[in-house]
Amino acid sequence: MSTPSEEQKPWLTVGIAAYNSAPYIRRTINSVIQQTDNGVRVIIVNDGSRDDTLARINDLVDSYNTGDRQRITVIDQTNAGVAAVRNIAITKADTPYITFLDGDDYWLDHYYDSVLSLIGDPDQADFDLLEYNVLEDRRLLEPEQREGRFVRFNPLGNYRGPLRPEQLEKIMVASKWYVWTRIYRSTLFDDLKFPVDLHYEDMMLVPQLYLRARTIITTEDPLIAYRINLGGQVCNPAQRDIDDVARIIGIHLDIARQQRGHARDMMILLACQSALYYKIMTNIRQGYIGSLGPIRHLLSTIRPMLSDSNVHLPTKTRLLFISPLASNLYTWLKTRPQAARNVMATPTFRKFLGRQQHT
């Protein structure tokens, strides 16, 4: 635990979104309060939970000492969605930096000490973004368990310095936009808010922050534990989820039209990478054949701008734009290893693969 200081100037706000998080919310809040000092403020928003999340939050806050209670703000509201919760945190934060945490996730024990070792004296901190990796757990770990699968969300490794074009390109290719894997300079959010009418709000807003950022710190270390919800939007997308991703891709293209040079190309690249995500979702919901029509329609909205850019697509994305059918076949084969080996051993497939490598 970092040494508390009565003189520590608040530098970081943690916005915690809590919705029906009763089994996990104590672990979430404790993971922040127990390792931080007076430099960290916490805003907890109970977003209309229907269980006893709010009662558990209040009981826990009441159990803290006076100093810790004073740096916590609890807000109870009618359910408005996670985007609205994050917007509240952004609006109420009065610190130079802000980060976010969901009510069923938690900081690992070394989070705060690791952050301080990366940034030095918080009063002298001068970075726009700090990005880190995570541990994910598909079994919805009990709070006391620490095991998890390391997941690399940060594509830059260990780095500090200017956010250069080649690094921004790697970030766009990776397209890992989970808002809780970063610390942000608060002013990056000036005149920007998470869209309350869209799912996948991170995918819409976070890339815009990278266009504004000039300096970045990244670490290979996992600093947060993420409890996977297998019943969530990614694994079981509703049609609204798919439609929202298509709308977000349209927003990416609109932003690209307002940009020039490398920034324009990066937003077009982002639209192409988001199309891969759209493809996966439609595959899950409509099947590998039924999804072809919607995928082809979406790609037709991107191609004109792609052809008028300097974007170089990664192999999987290029395959999608060359042939959605081949891309779906590739995805199907990945889920069936023996069938994949049989197909890849055929001369026709080898000839096709060789042709794509020289495209």
Task: Convert the pLDDT of each residue in 83-100 to its tens digit.
Answer: 999 999 999 999 999 999
The pLDDT value given to residue 227: 82
Does domain 12-227 bear CATH number 3.90.550.10?
A: yes
How far are the Cα atoms of 67, 139, 332 from residue 343, in angstroms, in the given order? 64, 34, 11
b/e map 264-284, b = 16+ CB within 10 Å: bbbbbbbbbbbbbbbbebbbe
CA separation for the pair 25, 2 (Å, rounded): 22
CA 336 – CA 146 distance, rounded (Å):
32
First to last CA, the chain: 54
Instruction: Specify the pLDDT at position 142.
Output: 47
The secondary structure of residue 158, as a DSSP letter, is: S
Could you give the CA distance from residue 74 to residue 326 in angstroms, rounded to a whole number?
A: 51
State the span(s) of the chain assigned CATH 3.90.550.10. 12-227
pLDDT at 350: 63
Concatenating the DSSP letter of every residue in 186-240 gives GGGGTT----TT-S-HHHHHHHHHHHH--EEEEEEEEEEEEE--TTSTTTS--HH
Q: What percent of the chain has pLDDT over 70?
A: 86
Q: Which pLDDT belongs to residue 285?
A: 93
What pLDDT shows up at residue 234? Answer: 59
- On whether the CB atoms of residues 141 and 56 are closer than 8 A, the answer is no
Rounded Cα–Cα distance for residues 15 and 87 (Å): 9
Give residue-wise pLDDT tens across range 212-248.
Answer: 999 999 999 999 998 865 445 556 889 999 999 999 9
Q: What is the mean pLDDT of residues 12-28?
A: 97
* pLDDT of 195 strictly over 70: yes
- Strands 12-18 and 40-47, how do they pair? parallel
User: Is 60 exceeded by the pLDDT of residue 139?
Assistant: no
Query: What integer is the mean pLDDT of 251-272?
Result: 98
Q: Is the pTM of this model over 0.85?
A: yes
Residues 6+ apart with CB under 8 A from 101: 14, 15, 16, 17, 28, 32, 107, 180, 224
Q: How far is CA 29 from CA 16, 56, 164, in A?
A: 8, 11, 35
d(CA 97, CA 183): 7
CA–CA distance, 17 with 43 (Å, rounded to integer): 9
**For range 273-296, the mean pLDDT:** 96
Q: Please, is 73 exposed, middle or buried when counting C-beta atoms within 10 Å of its C-beta (0-12, 13-18, 19+)? A: middle
pLDDT at residue 144 in the model = 46
